[in-house]
Structure 1
Amino acid sequence: MFDSRHIKTFHEVVRTGSYSAAARVLGYTQPAITQQMKALERDTGSALFVRVGRGLRLTEAGEALARHTSAILDAMSAAQEQMNALTRLRAGRVRLCAFPSANSTLVPETLARLTVDHPALRVDLLENEPPESLRRLTRGECDIALAFTYPGLHEQVPEGPVEIPLLEDQLTVLLPAGHPLARRRAVRLTDLAGERWIAGCPRCRANLLHECAEEGFVPDVAFMTDDNLAVQSLVAEGLGVAMLPSLVLNFMRHPKVAGRPLRPVSRRKISAYVLPEHLRIPATARVLDRLKAVAAAKDGC
């Protein structure tokens, strides 16, 4: 393996025609140039120059190396520029995997802020509910995963990723606009023990069953769907009530649906997960910084 400094010096000696001229251009002493060329000759295993009078002439090995030095130096320069760009966040690509309601709320605002500050940074958007999003992270299929957990379910997170808490998302009961309980400012689960329910994603469904069990009843789940818009439409038609996170209601508000907070308050925790070594990648760190800023503005809303 050649020392890049020696290649650069060799290129300058060839260009200027002498050690002394190369020394002046590079700001070295002539003995330093001589020592570098001797080191390069040891690396190549061959003499690179022969003296002809007061000048230098390339040997056959020297001519072979000289034909490649410009390409080597250009490649090194391009690599250094790319690394500098990544470090300064002029460029970079991050794969972000999030669940649907985060992709509709936290992610767009995060990307808008990144576009202003770092327009060359690219974010590839992926979508999966947890725990699949966390599995994709551990398999190396994404760089950041957004996931949510419900404290009462004692959910297991895969070992390895670092958790970065973002916000707590309050749960809300959805009622048909004409429902008697829609006149209240807040609703208790026990007030809805006799209702039919529309359940959401598997994790949300499990939490609904858990919270109702804590209140002493089993909900009558009439419909199940992962589509948050479908949940609201079913509630709007009077086919049941539902429990959704407030984050969903930030971007979907059906005119025939009333959302009321639960009492006592129940929340899910939303976090970003990243592998430890990815925290040192500037582009990934910047996306995380923007996610935290956007989440902080929404936390408690």
Structure 2
Amino acid sequence: MVDPRYIGVFHTVVRTGSYTAAARSLGYSQPAVSQQMRALERSLGTALFLRVGGGLELTEAGRILATHAESVVDDLTAAENKISAVRELRSGSIRVCAFPSASATLVPRAVARATEEHPELRVRLSEAEPPDSLEALRRGECDIALAFSYPDTEELPGEEVTGTDVLDDPLVAVLPGEHELAGRDSVGLGELAGQRWIAGCPRCREYFTRACSEAGFEPEIAFTTDDNLAVQGLVAAGVGIALMPALVLSFLRHPNVVGVRVAGLEQRRVTAYALREQRRIPATALMLDTFGRVGAQMRAED
């Protein structure tokens, strides 16, 4: 394998016409240039220059290399410039995988904040519920995975993954506007025993049924859907009530439903995950920090 640094020196020797002139152009000593050209010839197994009179003349192999050297140097220079732009966040892209309510709340605020300071940064968003989002992260399909977890269901992402806490998201009972408890500031989950329920995603449903059991009743689940808007439509139509994260109602609320805090329930935790190695990449480090700051701001606004 030819050392690309030698190609750059070779190109300068050809351009300037001598080792001495190339050394001046590169800021090297003349023996250093001679040494690198001998190393290049050894790696290629053939001579590249002939000394004719007081100057240098390219061999046939040297002429072949010279026809490619300029494009190699140009490509390396372009690559260095692009890497520098990514390092300095003057360009680059990052892939974020988030669950739907985070896509509608946390992600827009974080992207707006990050791109205000670094307008050339490009963000590609995909959606998945946990644990699918974490699996996508491990497979290299995204750079950051926003995921949520409930008490006793904390993620065990593995040593290769690191997490940044974003916020704790309280749970609310979603009730029809005319429900007898709709005017309350908060309710206990036990007060909702005997109601018909609409359940959400598998992870949310697992926590919900466990919480109901701890409150002393088994919920009657009348309908199951992952669609947050559908849940609210069903609640508004009187099909049942639901337990939903407050994050959902912060951006989307059916006009005929209300959200009432449920006292005594622990909040679900939202975390931004990345591979440990990925944290060294400036765009990833920036977005992880930005998600943390946006989460802190949203907590302060609550």
Superposition TM-score tier, normalisation by shorter sequence: over 0.9
- CA drift of 1:158 comes to 4.1
For 1:1-301, list aligned pairs within 5 A: 1-152=1-152, 154-155=153-154, 157-159=156-158, 160-299=160-299, 301=302
Aligned residues: 300
Shift in alpha-carbon separation, 1:222–1:282, aligned structure 2, 3 A: same
- CA drift of 1:5 comes to 3.4
- CA drift of 1:167 comes to 0.8
Letter in 2 for 1:207: Y
Shift in alpha-carbon separation, 1:135–1:64, aligned structure 2, 3 A: same
Report the TM-score when normalising by structure 1.
0.93
Report the TM-score when normalising by structure 2.
0.93
CA distance in 2, matches of 1:60, 1:163: 58
- CA drift of 1:247 comes to 0.2
- CA drift of 1:155 comes to 5.0
- CA drift of 1:2 comes to 2.6
CA distance in 1, matches of 2:206, 2:141: 27
CA distance in 2, matches of 1:5, 1:202: 56
3-state SS of 2:239 partner: coil
3-state SS of 1:197 partner: strand
CA distance in 1, matches of 2:3, 2:225: 62
Which sections of structure 1, spanning at least 5 residues, go unmatched?
none
Which sections of structure 2, spanning at least 5 residues, go unmatched?
none
RMSD between aligned residues? 1.7
Measured against aligned partners, the alpha-carbon deviations of 1:58-95 in whole angstroms (never above 9, x if no partner) come to 12222122111101111111111121111111222222
- CA drift of 1:268 comes to 0.6
Task: Provide the identity percentage.
Answer: 55
Residue pair 2:149, 2:155 contacting (<8 A) in 1 also: no
CA distance in 1, matches of 2:275, 2:126: 17
Question: Which deviates the most, 79-88 or 23-32?
Answer: 23-32
- CA drift of 1:108 comes to 1.1
Q: Would you identify which runs of 4 or more consecutive aligned residues in structure 1 move more than 6 Å?
A: none
Question: Which deviates the most, 32-41 or 227-236?
Answer: 32-41
Letter in 1 for 2:279: L
